[in-house]
Amino acid sequence: MKKKISFAKFDAELNTDCCDPYNNAELTLTLRMGFKQINPSGGADKGTYHDYGDATEPTRKIIKWTATSWTNWKTNFVSSAEAFWTGKFWLINDSGSFPFTKGTATYYPNVWCRFKLVGNESTVAGNHHTIDVVRLDPSESWFGSHSTLYDSKDTNSVKKATTSAGKKVMQRAHVHEVGHLLGLDHVDVGKPHCPAAGDTNAGMCYGVADADKLAVMGSGMQLRLENAYPWREALRAFALEELMMAAMGNPLLLALGRVSLSMPVASITSVWPAKMQRHYPRTEAELRAGTMITARPKRPL
Ligand SMILES: [Zn+2]
């Protein structure tokens, strides 16, 4: 079974056709980004552009995109951001969802979290997010970017912070920005020094402790379990849909008027905890016992 749900920030597809005792269900989030060239005015080869696209800010030297530089930049953006986010999380099935039978055994798959980034021109319909991109002159090392205005160096690894031991914290900005596009906040949002109701772009929100600075939603490149949030939220929608379909196909539940009562409970109590290591589908007994299967020897089942 392949099912799709379109969310505001991305499209989600759940594939259970790939399930067997060794392979989990796969949840793929697809983000379509539209890219638009910003070139020097009047068709010139060289020009300037204001930081943040704001006429009151300083200008930086920019150069005209060529067909090759544009294609290469987009390809690098898409492939590196996709590689960073895809295939890193497994969500553990704690709600008894999506059972399948193999031989005499019933298995419950976990869900492997995949990511697909589609790089379109901004003129293509259906993009979830569009950005303008300036091509910086080689002599420029910095440009004021924001969420809809990037520069060509935003895919480079740049020092964003320093640890307490004086070590550089490096980050490729586009990877962090794609995290935002998937719905993730800065690492310290919600802590006392970064109240969720305040300016969550303030410096403290990028992490104060070294471990938080190193997080991808801080100033570094490290993934955290909580970064599985977009996949988990999407999965809850699929799991709830499955429960409702099952209930609607059960005349007894319908007759008892328990459809609406029985549905939300299972979806509320299921957590789908994230892991950053492959966990194999579980049998009913393993699911009930709460056993995690991180190795399943290959043998006839
Ligand atoms: Zn950010």
| 212 CA from centroid of ligand 1 (Å) | 13
| 282 CA from centroid of ligand 1 (Å) | 37
Consecutive H or E run containing 252: helix 251-255
Helices and strands, number each (H, E), in the chain: 7, 15
Q: Which two tokens stand for residue 12?
A: 């989600």
Share of the chain above pLDDT 90, in %: 78
- The mean pLDDT value for 224-233 works out to 96
What is the tens place of the pLDDT at every residue in 139-190?
Answer: 999 999 999 999 999 999 999 999 999 999 999 999 999 999 999 999 999 9
How is 160-173 classified by DSSP, letter by letter? EEE-TTS-EEEEEH
- The mean pLDDT value for 99-121 works out to 95
Handedness of CA 244, 246, 248, 253 (dihedral sign): negative
| 160 CA from centroid of ligand 1 (Å) | 11
Residue 193: CA count within 13 A, CB half-sphere: 11
Residue 258 predicted with pLDDT over 70: no
Residues 6+ apart with CB under 8 A from 265: none
Q: Give the span between the Cα atoms of 152 and 167, in whole angstroms.
A: 26
Q: How confident is the model at residue 251 (pLDDT cuts 50, 70, 90)?
A: low
| 152 CA from centroid of ligand 1 (Å) | 17
Pairing of strands 100-102, 105-108: antiparallel
From the list 62, 32, 33, 59, the residue with the least C-alpha distance to 46 is 62
Q: Are 226 and 220 in contact (CB under 8 A)?
A: no
Residue 248 predicted with pLDDT over 80: no
Residue in the block written with tokens 């969500």: 91
| 111 CA from centroid of ligand 1 (Å) | 27
| 41 CA from centroid of ligand 1 (Å) | 30
| 206 CA from centroid of ligand 1 (Å) | 8
| 155 CA from centroid of ligand 1 (Å) | 14
Residue 278 predicted with pLDDT over 70: yes
| 203 CA from centroid of ligand 1 (Å) | 10
Indicate the residue type of 196.
Answer: A
Q: Give the span between the Cα atoms of 184 and 177, in whole angstroms.
A: 9
Q: Give the span between the Cα atoms of 198 and 57, in whole angstroms.
A: 24
Residue 80 predicted with pLDDT over 90: yes
| 198 CA from centroid of ligand 1 (Å) | 14
Residue 136 predicted with pLDDT over 50: yes
Mean pLDDT over the full length of the chain: 91
| 176 CA from centroid of ligand 1 (Å) | 6
Residues 6+ apart with CB under 8 A from 292: 92, 275, 279
| 158 CA from centroid of ligand 1 (Å) | 14
Rounded to 5°, angle at Cα 146 from 223 and 216: 10
| 59 CA from centroid of ligand 1 (Å) | 23
Range with the poorest average pLDDT among 41-55, 110-124, 253-267: 253-267
pLDDT of residue 259: 47
Residue in the block written with tokens 């293509």: 124
pLDDT of residue 137: 97
| 244 CA from centroid of ligand 1 (Å) | 37
From the list 2, 10, 1, the residue with the least C-alpha distance to 231 is 10
Q: Give the span between the Cα atoms of 214 and 203, in whole angstroms.
A: 14
Q: Are 231 and 29 in contact (CB under 8 A)?
A: yes
Partners of 154 in beta bridges: none
pLDDT of residue 157: 96
| 270 CA from centroid of ligand 1 (Å) | 30
| 107 CA from centroid of ligand 1 (Å) | 40
3-state class (DSSP) for residue 236: helix
From the list 166, 286, 173, the residue with the least C-alpha distance to 220 is 173
| 267 CA from centroid of ligand 1 (Å) | 31
| 109 CA from centroid of ligand 1 (Å) | 34
